[in-house]
Amino acid sequence: MDFERIKRAITRVDARDDGTRKTGTAFYIGGKYVMTALHVVANTQVRPPAFLRSIKLQFPDVAELITATVVDGLWSADGDWTVLECETLPDAVAIEIGAEPALGTEWITYGFPEIKPTGMTIAGKVRDARHRPLPGFAELPLHPVLQLFSEEAGAGMGARMHGFSGAPCLVDGKAVGVLRSTLIEEIVDGQSQRLLFTQAGTLYATPARSVVEWQADRHKAILPGSWAPPGIVTRDFIVLLSQQEPGPAQQARKPKKVALRDVAQVAYRNTKDSGLGLSQPYFLDAAEAVASEERLRDCVRALCNAKVVVFDATDFEPAIMFLAGIRAVVRRGLTLLSVGGEYALGKNLLMPFNVIDANIVAHSHEQNRSAIANSVTLLTQRIQRGLDAMRSPQYLDLPVYDAIRRLPVERRGIIPKKEGVLVLCPFEEGYTSFWDENLKQALTNELNNLRKEDKSVASFGVSRSFELNSPRLVTHAVYEAIRRFQSCVIDLSYWSANVLFELGVRLAASGERTACIIEKDWEGKVREEWLPQCQSIESLFVADPLKYDPEQSWVAEPAFCKAYGPDEMPLDKPLLLDGALHALVERALDVDLEPASRPVVLDLRDQAATFMRDPKGGRTKPGGLFVGNPALVEREDIADFERLLAAWLYASNRYTPDEIMDDAAIRDAVYDVVEALFERHSERLAAESESAAAEMMDKIEEWRKQHG
Amino acid sequence: MADPRLAEARALKRKATALRNRGEFKRAKEALDEAIRVLETPRPEYEPTPADIKEVRGELADTHGMKGGIFRRTLELDKALTAYETGATIEEDDNLSTTYNRSNVITLSITAKGQALKDPEIRKRLASVIEDLGVETAGPRSDEWWAWSDLAQFYLLNGEPDKARASYANAINKTGATASEIKRHVTILGELADKITATAPEIAASIRATIDKLSP
């Protein structure tokens, strides 16, 4: 590590505004950007923070001060960091971001504390890389922080570290955090001045990766180099490849398999000029996507953001099914499952129950020989048609999205763990006896232990997906249960495609406890090419104490009572099982696409459309199902009119004409509504509504004429 | 990906229908003229397939038909007939499944031009459109009110009341026609009956009997 070079990238910050002055440290991260703590340049006691107007940076060995400004929107109050843009380029080498440090790792920094404003180096060790303060104590926000120890900070009665805020916490020359605060003791001196001393040599830093995550959650890449999120999170066309995808070794063999990568690339080229606005496809091995928590987080963000995701569903691999389960919850986008190998449309395919309704596409030589369409044409057409169909709020290509959101109001609450546990497990023949004799017995016993004081019968009990005792469609009942059960035990043994899909659904849809269990000797039973991805999934989701011996009687097997019951183990590690993946989805999902964001006027317009007769000259088609029943036909015609009228009355009373004109979505929807009213129901319109609607139609027409 | 002309022309046609129903006939006609211009101007950026071309021609015929409808409302019957004839030519030349224009040419030739049912040109047109509608109502247009009601109307004009009755039964049972659609058809039947009372009293009587059955 060239510490002298690094020091030249660290600058003193002097921020002022109407008598307020703050000092601190910042460091150069590339381009025109420097990073610092938010409280160095803003009053963070108010929300939103009040930024100080004058910010000057003084780099070592540089006489001239550099003026800087806060980059619009690029700050976090909870994370206490912000990015400044320099007026002139600093003469320094950018400090790169470093990976999360391990416990005990040595760190160092350089900064400009008030006790040594000309510059000072301190160092120490990482005590906790993921410190999450207990809620209820105001000392730190709930944002995870690095807890650091430094001898300099703890020396004497504890050094006053003010001014180090914003300095990089460096490990091997890379920034792993941004210093933000210390554990402090406050003393008032003889002149009634508050003096803050660092206690126990303890400092806190915001993890540097949270700056990247902040951008990733918003699907933006603003900062340069290693401070930018990975490319996948900003793409809207993702292709997740399976282990069946031909790699360089397989390419040499004959006959070559058809590669989904090639098919998707050509399909992209075919759609590029058709105004669909898709980005280049981003290809990712699903096995890679689950190889670490960090990669999984990025992939989940991408699944929340991408307009189009194509999964290589050949053999319905575990990682693919898991990610498809997440995708099914997080976005009403276009999701395609493409099967390769020997498969072509029309051939028999054993589909997992959860995706049995999905419209599969194929990439294979057989498909290329098919009279229906070759692999490229098939994928191109599905993408084009899907993006067109997706404009409808009813569009679904996987079964979960609406089923898990639109629950009846009386069936949305949590089902407490005392009322039962949802078990998502395989239904293979070999598993049945284990379920009957072991797991079911064990979990029932734990449920009884939870209900010791309660003599009534548990409302749900120990339920597998097919045993939910619901009159609803099986898939709807399962997804409702996945959302509502406070306790869920998932058995990953057998690596069943359905179980993996349900795991994805559960982790995305629920922040409640999900305990993954697995038999100890599973590795010898899984397909060899799946082993790495299964090992990754296991390490992400299965804690060691939750691995069980299926031959052991449940009475002697401790894993089950650690998964569920009065003695269940905390699941804070692995973190993703404790609601973290759900929280990530909450941050990364596209709020504008959620059903609640849809303007009422659009919903009414679409409801009307379900009843309308399309009036196309001599080719009018019926709207309803029982067209020979004139009374019903009349009702449908009126239903169309009433909803359109409701949409118009709502819009014309809810918004001023200017508000309608200013919002593109409302403007277009209102135009559609009034146009349809005149097109199909002009005889029914009352004079007053008719003239107001006509006026609005003309106004929008005029606007369109003026704006091309 | 469909031919981009189709979406643009269809939007203009929807607008034209709304304007027509508002009584804004001039603006409605302008929208249809614009739709015709859009449909007749190939897009250099898009290579249409044969299916696209047929669909574009179908929309073009339909747009001329809509123009004919507007002229009919403004009582410019000659222009209406010209517009229908333009559309009918496209329907015939391109072997389209629609008969909207051809049907209106027959109806308007009788009601506006005063051509007699016996006129060989009318007989020829009737035979041709009955044949085409017979095929279409057995297939892609089996759920369309205007196809069945036109077929029934032409059976009536052709002196085949039994076939007309069967067609009306299908029109009512298979297409979910609204009261206003039936009313519009009854108005046309009334105009026809009035026009042919002197020259074909039996057919006029059977048309009036049908009007009675169709009216609420």
| pLDDT of A253 above 60 | no
Show me where the domains of chain B are located.
Answer: 1-96
The answer to whether the Cβ–Cβ distance between A618 and B175 falls below 8 Å is no
The pLDDT mean for chain A works out to 90
Who's near B160: CB < 8 A, 6+ residues apart? none
The answer to whether the Cβ–Cβ distance between B176 and A694 falls below 8 Å is no
| pLDDT of A630 above 70 | yes
Backbone φ and ψ for A360, nearest 5 degrees, come out as -75, 145
Rounded Cα distance between A289 and A532, Å, is 12
The answer to whether the Cβ–Cβ distance between A618 and B147 falls below 8 Å is yes
Considering only CA atoms, which of A449, A369, A443, A450 is closest in space to residue A417? A450
> Tell me, what's the pLDDT at A136?
61
Show me where the domains of chain A are located.
Answer: 3-212, 234-398, 405-588, 599-706
Residue pair A19/A167 in contact by the 8 Å Cβ criterion: no
| pLDDT of A137 above 80 | no
**C-alpha distance from B61 to closest chain A C-alpha (Å):** 10
Asked if the domains at A234-398 and A405-588 fall in one CATH topology, the answer is: yes
Q: How confident is the model at residue A390 (pLDDT cuts 50, 70, 90)?
A: confident
Comparing CB atoms, the residue among B17, B143, B147 nearest residue A615 is B17
Please state the three-class secondary structure of A104-126 as a single string. CCEEEEEECCCCCCCCEEEEEEE
Count of A-B CB contacts under 8 Å: 87
Of chain A, the percentage scoring pLDDT greater than 90 comes to 64
Does residue A420 come out as left (phi exceeding 0), alpha (psi in the -120 to 50 range) or beta?
left
- Of the candidate CATH numbers 1.25.40.10, 3.40.50.1370, 1.10.150.530, 2.102.10.10, the domain formed by B1-96 belongs to 1.25.40.10
Amino acid at A153: A
Q: How confident is the model at residue A625 (pLDDT cuts 50, 70, 90)?
A: confident
**B 89-108 residues with CB < 8 A to A:** 98-100, 103
At the top level of CATH, the class of A234-398 is alpha beta
**Out of A97-101, A239-243, A469-473, B138-142, least confident range:** A469-473
pLDDT digits 0-9 by tens, B59-87: 999 999 999 999 999 999 999 999 999 99
What is the secondary structure of A567-584 as a DSSP string?
A: TPPP--SSGGGTTHHHHH
Q: How far is CA A500 from CA A52, A177, A495, A497, in A?
A: 51, 35, 7, 5
> Tell me, what's the pLDDT at A655?
95
Q: Sort out which chain A residues have CB atoms less than 8 A from B133's CB and list them.
A: none
**B 43-82 residues with CB < 8 A to A:** 45, 62, 65-66, 69
ipTM for the complex shown: 0.89
Report the pLDDT averaged over residues B147-155: 95
Interchain contact B137–A (C-beta under 8 A): no
Buried-state track A414-429, b at ≥16 Cβ within 10 A, e below 16: ebebebbbbbbbbeee
The answer to whether the Cβ–Cβ distance between A620 and B145 falls below 8 Å is yes
Q: Sort out which chain A residues have CB atoms less than 8 A from B70's CB and list them.
A: none
**Domain A405-588 adopts which CATH fold?**
Rossmann fold (3.40.50)
At the top level of CATH, the class of A3-212 is mainly beta
Amino acid at A395: Y
Q: What is the DSSP letter of A230?
A: P
